Amino acid sequence: MAETTVLGVPSVRTPRLPARTGLSYHIRTFGCQMNEHDSERISGLLAADGMVASSDVESADVIVLNTCTIRENADNKLYGYLGALRALKKDRPGLKILVGGCSAQKDGDLVIERAPWVDVVFGTHNVHRVVELIDHADEWGPVTEIWEETSSAEDFPSYLPVQRETPHSAWVTIAIGCDNSCTFCIVPAVRGREISRRVGDVIGEVKTLAAEGVTEVTLLGQNVNSYGRDLELNGRSPVFADLLRQVGAVEGVRRVRYTSPHPKDFREDVATAMAETPEVCEQLHLPLQSGSDHILAAMHRGYNRDRFLSRLAMARSIVPKLSVSTDVIVGFPGETEDDFVATLEVVEAARFDQAFTFQFSPRPGTVAAEMDCQIPKHVVQERFERLVALQRGISLEKNEAMVGDVEEVLVEGPSKKNPAMTTARTRGNKPVHAPGEYAPGAYLEMEITAAAPHHLVGRVLP
């Protein structure tokens, strides 16, 4: 088994001459927006080292798997994928295989033990070290580097070069880590404690992006509402509502979005900032997780159903036309039929535009994984189908109510399903497909002509 070296690699911040000109890289991203954002940074670093992106994994010289560990099958997916790469490595020994992200942070050395053809394992706070770690693997063999202690604001990946998927839209990290302790969640263990980025750094990045032609920015954090609690500015902690206003005021920015808020910290000042800052879109993602107070307590969510519904009502009363999405977990340990019915009741009452629904999966290292009363798979599946059916009807009803409306949309590009159609997004973050070809990044007025549960159809107005 190859020797792995940990944390020995010298760190260089000053840009260096490209050392891998002409080589190609392929990045496969699993999981959330945080990972997508990190992958844009990894892509920027490899391109700065002279490499070109390749959509073809078979011919790439460097393959990066940016992993997620939020659900059980995520780990299985990783090791399944690594198994498939083994043959490629056998045929091309010079190929470099890198594993980053949350599974890498969680498993560390174990990744190389289980897949000794992997060259580099890097943690969630070690994105900036990717090129040096490849150098190290070239010289000394396989290397693992994950973070032990949560780092500092200095380690925000924001100064790194970036290769964005879409030139007109950008993610902007405002905080990393999470101080909450939801019993089903592995994030605090793999992304560390909350660290907010200084206001000036965030605004500085947004100004740079706007100067590069970005018109839509999405502020990223595990719990954006607690932004700034660890910072001090003029004797007080900056708050998220102020940051929203300041980002909206940056010249050239037309749309501001953010993800993810926590219902227990969602306050009126944020809703008011959304309503009073035209650039901030009328879109809110408010994760419910369960509608049962008994389960919410076992999840350690810090709110009950009435408080959740009152926060939702508050937001809707302040922000007109607010489009709301949520997350719901089915089958949490100890969930009775009554608990599940309570979830259906809240979903029924809340009328979400969209819901991301998940079946509970025990994550090693979380409190919930050790809980008794794990629910049998067939029961979870049956409940999951009832929830999906209910929400599907509500989403369709909400979208049908928009038929005849005129919406400002931002063009993303040709529809993936039908290239004769264009896909765009409303301010409520709903995908709309319309006939014709329009430039990505263009803002258009569209009349909504038809609706489906997960998308709208429209026609572009002259």
Q: Which residues bind ligand SF4 (CB under 6 A)?
A: 178, 180, 182, 185, 187-188, 222-223, 262
Closer to ligand SF4 by CB, 229 or 392: give it: 229
d(C-alpha 107, C-alpha 311), whole Å:
38
Nearer of residues 117 and 184 to ligand SF4, judged by Cβ: 184
Residue closer to ligand SF4 by CB (options 39, 223) is: 223
Give the residue with the Cβ less far from ligand SF4, 114 or 193.
193
* Angle (deg, nearest 10), helices 337-350 and 305-318: 10
* Residue number with CB closer to ligand SF4 (178 or 319): 178
Nearest to residue 405, comparing CAs of 453, 451, 353, 355?
451
Q: How far is the CB of 60 from ligand SF4 (least distance, A)?
A: 32
> SS3 for the chain, per residue?
CCCCEECCCCCCCCCCCCCCCCCEEEEEECCCHHHHHHHHHHHHHHHHCCCEECCCHHHCCEEEEEECCCCHHHHHHHHHHHHHHHHHHHHCCCCEEEEEEHHHHHHCHHHHHHCCCCCEEECCCCHHHHHHHHHHHHHHCCEEECCCCCCCHHHCHHHCCCCCCCCCEEEEECEECCCCCCCCCCHHHHHCCCEECCHHHHHHHHHHHHHCCCCEEEEECCCHHHCCCCCCECCECCCHHHHHHHHHCCCCCCEEEEECCCHHHCCHHHHHHHHHCCCECCEEECCCECCCHHHHHHHCCCCCHHHHHHHHHHHHHHCCCCEEEEEEEECCCCCCHHHHHHHHHHHHHHCCCEEEEEECCCCCCCCHHHCCCCCCHHHHHHHHHHHHHHHHHHHHHHHHCCCCCEEEEEEEEECCCCCCEEEEEECCCCEEEEECCCCCCCEEEEEEEEECCCCEEEEECC
Q: Report in angstroms how near the CB of residue 191 gets to ligand SF4 at its nearest.
A: 8
Query: Taking the complex as a whole, how short is the minimal distance between the CB of residue 156 and ligand SF4, in angstroms?
Result: 18
Tell me which residue of 209, 284, 292, 295 sits closest to 253, measured CA to CA. Answer: 209
In the bound complex, what is the minimum distance in angstroms from residue 260's beta carbon to ligand SF4? 7
By beta-carbon proximity to ligand SF4, the closer residue of 31 and 458 is: 31
Q: Closer to ligand SF4 by CB, 312 or 444: give it.
A: 312
CB of residue 366 to ligand SF4, shortest distance in Å: 9
Beta carbon of residue 23, minimum distance to ligand SF4 (angstroms, whole number): 36
Taking the complex as a whole, the smallest distance from the CB of residue 104 to ligand SF4 amounts, in Å, to: 18
Q: How far is the CB of 290 from ligand SF4 (least distance, A)?
A: 12
Minimum CB distance to ligand SF4, residue 128 (Å)? 22
Encoded tokens for 121? 């394992």
Nearer to ligand SF4, 136 or 262 (CB): 262
Backbone phi, psi, residue 196, to 5°: -90, 145
Closest approach, Cβ 179 to ligand SF4, in A, equals 8
Residue closer to ligand SF4 by CB (options 287, 458) is 287
Residue with Cβ nearer ligand SF4 (33 or 208): 33
